[in-house]
Amino acid sequence: MMKKVLLSILSLAIVVFVSACGSDNASNSSNEQDQYTIRIAGGAVGPEHSLTKTFNYLKDKLEEESDGKFKVDLNVAGELGEDREIIEAMQMGEVQLASPSPAALGGFNKSVAILDMPFLFPDRETAYRVLDGEPGQMILTNLEDSGFKGLGYFENGFRNVSNNVKPIKTIEDIKGLSIRTMQNQTHIEAWKLLGANPTPMAFGELYTALQQGTVDGQENPFGLIVANKFYEVQKYLTVTNHVYAPNVIITNKNFFDGLPEDLQEVFTSVVKEAIEYNRQLAQEEEKTAREALEAEGMEVYEFSTDDLKQMQQIVEPVYDQFKDDIGAEVVDTFLEASKQ
Ligand code: TK8
């Protein structure tokens, strides 16, 4: 009898030991049969845009570098809706990788709005240094309160203003124009200060609104104006570079935390590679897109240095006006870092 009891205790101990090894193994590294679906959702940007090409790059690299343990379901050009809908789907665990605009993400965490502030970054070198440094990480960490894990920043680019009514040659020419803005209060206020009539609107509705004359103009980087064919419904373009727009790369935090550590490392290292790829592509795109827009018949004007200075001074008050909303520490940290 005693023998039987000893045998069952021994076999129970072996089972406990093996399963413990198994579970340790699961939390630190994936097993051969592990398979995780990553649904990527790209915003409503055109199929030829650098962001869409970057999502295709991500699919290939994630599947390749995980030895097939990641299976990527790629949805681009707004197939799963606008940025806001994509973010909500991610919160529900239905999307695992996206890079919405700060305007859309600002609705889930107010500090993100700093990323869309006018004239914050004077050039790409400053933008990359600040976004990839402690200030940028501050925003990514803040996103965890809303269930996201922030992974870094892709490039949308420097925003410029277009319209279909008249050439905007000086700051005065903006007055009275109805300009579509993203759905963020800081941009709405900034264009009001410039004397325009701002109309906040989802990006996916913009082409039709321009075509029907619901709004006179809009503001976006050259690459988006080409990719979404706004040149078909916009005659005049003025180079203002009034905002350097990043897109925030996010995943669902529970999904990420549930991955074995080795796949978490694959995920983050592939995103880092994709950021380098994306920024190269976006810089080349900005050059070719401007030429393409002129070739498509758009009249391109450049603001004088004085007009740019005036534009920056006119919209400057939005920093104080939204400082409490965004968070004083965030605003001060970014302004300080951008001036270094
Ligand atoms: C695309 C948008 C776009 C943004 C806008 O989904 O809304 O004007 O610049 O990139 O996020």
Nearest protein CA to atom 5 of ligand 1, as residue: 203
Query: Which residues is 302 bridged to in the sheet?
Result: 239
Amino acid code (one letter) for 28: N
Ligand 1 atom closest to Cα of residue 51:
10
Segment 155-211, tens digit of pLDDT: 999 999 999 999 999 999 999 999 999 999 999 999 999 999 999 999 999 999 999
Is residue 128's pLDDT more than 80?
yes
Q: What is the mean pLDDT of the chain?
A: 93
- What's the rounded Cα separation, in Å, for the pair 311 and 301? 15
pLDDT bracket for residue 19 (50, 70, 90): very low
pLDDT bracket for residue 217 (50, 70, 90): very high
pLDDT bracket for residue 32 (50, 70, 90): confident
Domains of the chain: 35-338 (3.40.190.170)
- Per-residue CA distances from 313 to 14, 141, 180, 259, 279 (Å): 73, 31, 21, 48, 29
DSSP 162: E
CB of 43 shorter than 6 A to ligand 1: yes
Is residue 80's pLDDT more than 50?
yes
What is the distance in A from the centroid of ligand 1 to the CA of 224?
A: 8
CB of 218 shorter than 6 A to ligand 1: no
Question: For residue 306, what is the enclosing H or E element?
Answer: helix 305-315
Amino acid code (one letter) for 266: V
Cβ 243 vs Cβ 182: under 8 Å: no
Is residue 24's pLDDT more than 70?
no
CB of 174 shorter than 6 A to ligand 1: no
Cβ 96 vs Cβ 102: under 8 Å: no
CB of 50 shorter than 6 A to ligand 1: no
Q: Name the residue of 45, 210, 218 to mutate for ligand 1: max ligand atoms within 8 A of Cβ.
A: 45
CB of 83 shorter than 6 A to ligand 1: yes
CB of 101 shorter than 6 A to ligand 1: yes
Nearest protein CA to atom 6 of ligand 1, as residue: 43
CB of 184 shorter than 6 A to ligand 1: no
What is the distance in A from the centroid of ligand 1 to the CA of 101?
A: 6
Nearest to 99 by CA among 166, 30, 50: 50
What is the distance in A from the centroid of ligand 1 to the CA of 328?
A: 26
pTM of the model: 0.91
